[in-house]
Amino acid sequence: MTATNDQTAPLQELADRVVELIGAHDGGDATIEANVTVTRERHGLTRFANSFIHQHVGEDTITVTLNAAVDARSTSASTTAVDDDSLRDLVERTLASAPLQPVDPNWPGAAPQQEIPSAGSGADPATAESDPAARAAGVKAFVDSGPGLRAAGFLDTDTNWVAFASTAGQRAAGSASRATIDGIHQTDTSAGSAHQTSRRIGDLDAGAVGALAADRAHRSAEFVDVEPGPLEVVLSPEAVATVVVFLSAYGFNAKAHQEGGSFAELGEQQFDPSITLLEDPEDPRAIGLPFDAEGTPRRTYTLIDKGVTSALAYDRRTALRAGGDAATTGNAIPGGASFGSIPFNPRVTPGDSSPDDLVAGVERGLLVTQFHYCRVLDPKSLAVTGLTRNGTFLIENGEVAGAVGNLRFTQSFVQALGEGNVLGIGNDDRHANAEFGPGMVICPSLRLSSWNFTGGAKG
């Protein structure tokens, strides 16, 4: 097998070849610009249910994506066929389609030459080369940690090697890897969940993850219902990650802000002074490429600075639309023309309190492990409705007193983190899974003064 750090070389050759074919195209007097991305993704997935593995799947696919504009009329196409005839066909089809599109007022042009400061940590070779046996060993450790319980979930690895080229001369290549164990243990009446993600499969402690899930399941086997209403909460990292992802996608998204759909008021104290949120691809734990979907170098910057909303996530499109001194922050995503740009690696800075310390400060409230099926009701206030899941516990007099049934909530995520509402921040920051997928958010537990529970799981 070719060494992991050599995998991008043939991809760069493919990207350069597409640019060459575009340059040879007879466009007459038309101005033709293009960005080309070539991605090789190797994904391995092992699923388990009822404490048995029931599925191993894997793929290793190369995809060539061409974003092109003819006189600012832009379109895109992709192919997984990478022989020269197929690349020629991709170019011809795309350039024939572009003149049929309306003029794109926010087309920023082909990506200009920029230095990519560092290739970052890159893909972990052991993760890239892991096989079903390695994943099965992790699953076994998870299952064995909950004797007598029913385990379900997945362990997967995902490695991407990416090369980029533009007709304006930008070239970039990099790689990234991720490994995740995510699962539940079940009793006849309850389930407990746990999660771990790293860029290295060797970092995963599947047994410890399973033991935590089993403990939550056992403690939830007998539960009581509580009356809905505002309650103080301690949110575990998975619940906090959901809050952060919604803030990032709907609030710090420059396109949403430009269209009037974002809560963000730059320079205003919208959050508690204890909250600092970074876009931090330079954190050694971060997972991702050193450049974005437009070939722009990614960088670290502050979104919330001690409670003050300080920045938005821009791509080249939204920066052009903003005008003035606005510049891309390196947060372009595939499909960003319609959705916008979002932070890839948001990180909440941790505090000094252990999770037990956070619980100890609560006279009466709830410990929430995870949120589920969250949906935005009002993007301007970021009012969201959703459910608790897989481990919700009553806190009384600073101790976990027992489990409670799942609850529905309707809560403004901005208000929940507002000034005076954050009573404590944990020292347990880690990769935590949110509804948009693993490997994005690094965050700790939070103690909040109030969370608005509106009913049980059925309404």
Alpha carbon of 458 to those of 188, 377, 408: distances in Å? 19, 18, 8
Residue 2 has a pLDDT of 36
Look at residue 1 in the predicted model and tell me its pLDDT: 30
Q: What stretches of 187-321 adopt beta strand conformation (E)?
A: 191-198, 223-224, 229-235, 277-279, 301-305, 308-309
Is residue 459 very low, low, confident or very high in pLDDT (cuts 50, 70, 90)? Answer: low
Q: What is the pLDDT of residue 43?
A: 98
Question: Which CATH number is 60's domain given?
Answer: 3.30.2290.10
Confidence grade of residue 220 (pLDDT, cut at 50, 70, 90): very high
> What is the predicted pLDDT for the residue at 436?
78
Is pLDDT of 6 > 90?
no
Residue after which a domain boundary falls, among 213, 237, 257: 213
Residues 172, 250 share a domain: no
Instruction: Determine the pLDDT at residue 352.
Output: 96
Cα Rg of the chain (Å, integer)? 24
Q: For residue 4, what pLDDT is reported?
A: 44
On whether both 186 and 242 belong to a single domain, the answer is no
What is the pLDDT confidence band of residue 404, given thresholds at 50, 70 and 90?
very high
In whole numbers, what is the pLDDT of the chain averaged over residues? Answer: 95
d(C-alpha 12, C-alpha 36), whole Å = 10
Q: Are residues 188 and 266 located together in one domain of the fold?
A: no
The pLDDT of residue 117: 77
Q: Is residue 353 located within the same domain as residue 434?
A: yes
pLDDT (average), residues 346-353: 97
* Percent of the chain residues past pLDDT 70, beyond the cut: 97
pLDDT exceeds 90 at position 205:
yes
166 and 294 both lie in a single domain: no
Q: Calculate mean pLDDT across residues 375-383.
A: 96
- Average pLDDT (360-374) is 96
pLDDT at 118: 65
The mean pLDDT of 401-423, rounded to a whole number, is: 96
Same domain, 198 and 295: no
- The pLDDT assigned to 233 comes to 98
Structural domain ending residue among the three candidates 179, 213, 247: 213
The Cα 36–Cα 215 span in angstroms is: 48
What is the predicted pLDDT for the residue at 458?
62
pLDDT at 3: 39
Residue 138 near residue 198 (C-beta atoms within 8 A): no
pLDDT for the residue 288: 92
Whether residues 229 and 130 share a domain: the answer is no
Alpha-carbon gap, residue 305 to 267, rounded angstroms: 9
Q: How many domains does the chain have?
A: 2
Residue 115 confidence class, pLDDT cut points 50, 70, 90 = very high
Evaluate whether 204 touches 385 at the Cβ level (below 8 Å): no
- Which of 196, 213, 230 represents a domain boundary (last residue)? 213
Provide the terminal-to-terminal Cα distance of the chain, rounded to the nearest Å.
54
Residues 229 and 205 in one domain: no
Domain identity same for 392 and 274: yes
174 and 286 together in one domain: no
Average pLDDT over residues 342-356: 97
Residue 230 burial class via C-beta count within 10 angstroms: exposed 0-12, middle 13-18, buried 19 and up = middle
- 185 and 79 both lie in a single domain: yes
Which pLDDT score is estimated for 120?
A: 55
Domain interval for residue 175 = 4-213
Does residue 298 sit in the same domain as residue 444? yes
pLDDT in tens, 61-78: 999 999 999 999 999 999
pTM: 0.94
What average pLDDT does the segment 259-269 reach? 97
Instruction: Calculate mean pLDDT across residues 167-189.
Output: 96
Residue 166 to residues 19, 113, 321, 327, 407, Cα–Cα distance (Å): 7, 9, 21, 19, 50
Q: Which pLDDT value is given to residue 457?
A: 61
